[in-house]
Amino acid sequence: SQPCWSEYLTTRIEQNMVVNCTCPISECRAQPTTAFICSIVSSKEIIAKYEKALLRGYVECCSNLTWCTNPQGCDQILLKDGLGYGAACSKCSWISCFNCNFPEAHYPASCSHMSHMTCAKCNHGFCWRCLKPWRPTHKDYYNCSALVSKAAWQEKRFQDYNERCTFHHHAREFAMSLRNRVSSLNEMPKIRTLTFVLDACKVLEQARKVLAYSCVYSYYNQDTESMDIVEQQTESLEMHTNAL
């Protein structure tokens, strides 16, 4: 009966299980169509949730589509361009990485830099996020003990780069907050246009982002000769960024 179908479909939609929903009769594998669901379910809120579930399922099935990864929240769908560095969201301007699960584009650091750690003693690789082995067959990742002196040096080096990276991320958040405050002022009547200040804030945000991920790049790069040039360029960018 229609009330039974309505209750069944409503429950499946609320439980986010409607996309692969089948007939409640165990022997029947038929799936209700969109037209049938819309004709049975009368609640506009439930139908809206159903349409969101369809959209979510479609995006997850398409290898060239993804959701914006802005941690502040954004429902924009992005088209992967294949460049690997991501593209700015047309809705919130957040730049997502299309190649890994890190929430934003992280150039010049590679995707492996953002998740793959390697022990200096035994060369064991593991994920810095979950601490599980990079290679699933390796099970002794808790039993590695590096030389104390080398471990202390590695720890100090990591702390230095981590502090610099964290500083630039915080400075970037300040630039974003500043841009938001200037934007609100710019909308007030009888205020001179502040477009040039907004542009400066955007440049500041981008510079802090590059400086933060340059710390990751520098930490992992072992090529001393090329790193001398990178460090010089980074110092120059940091000096001009601080001045801005």
CA–CA dist 74, 64 (Å, integer) = 18
- pLDDT at 145 (0 to 100): 37
Tokens of 24: 């409640």
Tokens of 164: 């610099």
53-71 average pLDDT score: 81
- Put residue 239 in one of left, alpha, beta given phi > 0 → left and psi -120 to 50 → alpha: alpha
C-alpha 18 chain-centroid distance: 27
CA–CA dist 88, 12 (Å, integer) = 35
Is the pLDDT at 152 greater than 60, yes or no? yes
Q: Give Cβ neighbours of residue 48 (< 8 Å, ≥ 6 apart).
A: none
For 98-118, write each residue's pLDDT tens digit.
776 677 777 777 666 666 566
- pTM over 0.75? The answer is no
Q: Which of 75, 104, 101 is nearest to 90 (CA)?
A: 75
Domain-wise residue ranges, the chain: 1-59, 62-105, 112-243
The model's confidence at residue 22, banded by pLDDT at 50, 70 and 90, is confident
Is the pLDDT at 148 greater than 50, yes or no? no
For 77-101, write each residue's pLDDT tens digit.
888 765 445 667 888 888 887 776 6
Tokens of 173: 């958040």
Overall size of the chain counted in residues: 244
